Each structure stands twice: as C-alpha cells, then as structure tokens.
Amino acid sequence: MTDRSQTSQPSEPTEPSELAAATTPDPDLVAVLDDLFIDYRATRATPTAVVDLDRDLWQRLEELGLTRLTGSEAAGGSGGGWVDAAALLGLAAAAAAPVPLAEHDVLGGWLLESAGLPNDGGIRTVCRPDPSGVALNVTWARDASRIVALWEDRDQWRVADVPTSRVAVEERRNLAGEPCDTVEFDLDDLEAGTVVPHEIGEQFHLRGALARCAQVTGAMERIVEVVLAHVRERQQFGRPIGRFQAVQHLVADLASETALARTATDAAVARAAASDWHDPGMLFAVGVAKSCVGHAASVVVRGSHQALGAIGTTLEHELHTLTKPILARRSEYGSLQDWDETLTALAASAGHDRLWTLITTGRAKPAKETHA
C-alpha cells in the first residue's frame, strides 16, 4: 500500500465542534430511503447465487435524484454531501441492493467533476488501470455505458471517461456473485485523459475505502436485526434460543463489533464532510474505519451464520445476500492487513509523546512552521 501520509493538504485539523455538526444525514432523505428499501426488500425476487444489476431499482433511484446525490447542482447533481452519501450507501447495502451507487456517483461522478468532464447520463463505474492499460476487479463494468479511469501517467494523474464500446471486458464475478470484470483499455484513450491535481489521485483510494466502510457497516447493522429476530423466534427445548447465555454472548459480540464499526465510520465521514476531504487527519481516520470494519466483519459474518445455522446458508434466506458482499468489499481499496500496517506506521511515527495527538487529530507529526 502506498504511503499517503505526506499529501498537499492544509495544516489545520478539523475542530471537534465541526465534526459534531457533521454527523447526521438529512432526516427527510433517510425517511425516503427507508421507505424505498423496505419496499424493495418486500418485493424483490428470491435471491440467487448470481447477482445482476437491478435496472428497475436503478431507474427509481434516478427518478429520486439519488444516483447523482453528491454531484454539485451546477453539474446536474443533487448537491448532497458525504454524510448523506454514507447513509444512502449503508441503507442500500442493508437491502442487498445490486446497484453501483459508490462507483457511479461517489467515485465516478466526483472524478468527472474534478476533471471538468461532462456527466451526461448513463451508468458509470470506476477503475485504476495498470501501466499496460489493464484493470482487474472492476465492479459492474459489463453493465456500465462508460468507465471512468484514474490513471497515473509518469508524474501526472489523468482521468479518462471511456465508452465501454472502446474497451475489452472479460466477465468475472466476485465472492458475492456480483459482476467484477477485467477491463483492458486502449492506451491512447488513457493518455488522452484530462490531467488532474495530485490530490485527486491521493484521495481516490481513501474515498473508495470509506465508501466500502459505509456499505459494510450498513450490511452488518441489517445482519444484527436479522439475528435478533431469529433468536427471539427460534424455539429450542421449549424456549427461544435467545434466552440461552451462549447465544446472548454471541449476539452481544455481533452488536458491539457493529457499533464499533459504525462509530469509526461515522467519525471518518464527519471529518471528510466537515473539511471536504482536506483535513490532514483523513488518512488516519479512514484507516481506523477500515481496520475496525474489517475486523468486525469477521466476527459478524461468522457469528451470524452460527446463530442461524443451516437456514442462513440457503439461497432463499436473506443472510447470504449480506454476508457475501461484506467479505467481498472489506478487501477492496486496501486489504485489512494493508490498513493495519498503515495505522502501525502512523503510530510508530507519532511516538509515545504524540500518540494521543494522533488519535484526536490524525496527525502523526506537528505541522511545519512557515516563516516570512
């Protein structure tokens, strides 16, 4: 994993009061999302092992202005921020909604707007091609009309918005059964891309990682609801299994790990929203979120399947539509080991005398003073 601790960002961290003011999504938006995804869960077809894009749901999201939630109004978006986007990503993941919200809007739309390129409709996904023009594990590539590529061209970063008709797509699927393809670009299309500031390239990995945290956390919260309902209803030896102490301990582990993941994710989202991603502590905040979410995912996936037993592994049951995407997404935009190593390096750099400052501000070292 590339060391991103030295980036061109303002020197002052976000104040705690600013973070506290940036944690709550728009209640009207949440009400709309709740209604939308409750209805989706009630009417969707029986889950299968293979997951394909739900175009009907995507159209409903488009009509509500949710597929361009974070785009500026000047660029045709809804003008939402990261707090609202995290709520949308989490609730969509909790409903196991097969739609590319993170790829199309939070990442793809942001890259296009940062590069000054038009976002003129259609479905987009994103990727980071290697120097040969090949990108692996591109989610939803086969369903996209265009692919937004962020490419490192020697000492420059470029963004190219390439029609899928100009790329070769080798269809594959991830652990969740979702489209996760290999894409090969024509290098001429990448080299003709628009040059963007270095901070765009540096932020992309962090934004992608935090988007995945929001999705995994939302899915884990839904899993806790499913497990609680099951242990209250399932009878064994004449009483609900939720009354057995061993089961209570298991459920407590799921709930506490999910709460920790939610807290770490919300803290990173609040810092991003309050500073528009310019807070120098973003690497640490996202790293903490990715680490907490990744470790929690192991506990929640294992414990939920243990609580539900064989029924949780059947295609008809909801559980596998939540646990498999969790396992697929927790390793995207940096594996758990990568992020744990990044946090370890930041802590070692801070030393014992600045460790608390690192925790509270995200800065391992004091800002360099400038003199006139």
pLDDT in tens, 276-295: 999 999 999 999 999 999 99
Position 11 pLDDT exceeds 60: no
Opening angle at CA 179, ends 178 and 180, nearest 5: 105
**Structure confidence at residue 370 (pLDDT):** 42
Res 121: pLDDT: 86
The pLDDT of residue 9 is above 70: no
Q: If residue 296 lies in a helix (H) or strand (E), which one and from where to where?
A: helix 282-308
pLDDT of residue 18: 59
Instruction: Assign domain 1-118+198-372 one CATH number from 1.10.10.10, 1.20.140.10, 1.10.357.10, 3.30.565.10.
Output: 1.20.140.10
- The number of CA neighbours under 13 Å toward the Cβ of 147 is 32
pLDDT at 289: 98
Residue among 346, 339, 371 at smallest CA distance from 361: 346
Region 67-75 average pLDDT? 93
Residue 344 — φ and ψ, nearest 5°? -65, -45
Q: State pTM to two decimals.
A: 0.92
pLDDT digits (tens, 9 = 90+) for 93-114: 999 999 999 999 999 999 999 9
pLDDT score for 160: 98
Residue 23's pLDDT is: 72
The set of residues, in sequence order, having a beta carbon less than 8 Å from that of 125 and lying 6+ positions away, is: 100, 103, 104, 108, 138, 139, 140, 141, 143, 144, 147, 148
> What pLDDT shows up at residue 127?
98
Is 311's pLDDT higher than 70?
yes
Residue 170 pairs in a beta bridge with 182
| Per-residue pLDDT reduced to its tens digit, 22-54 | 678 999 999 999 999 999 999 988 888 899 999
Per-residue pLDDT of 226-238, as tens digits, reads 999 999 999 888 8
pLDDT of residue 143: 97
pLDDT given at position 282: 96
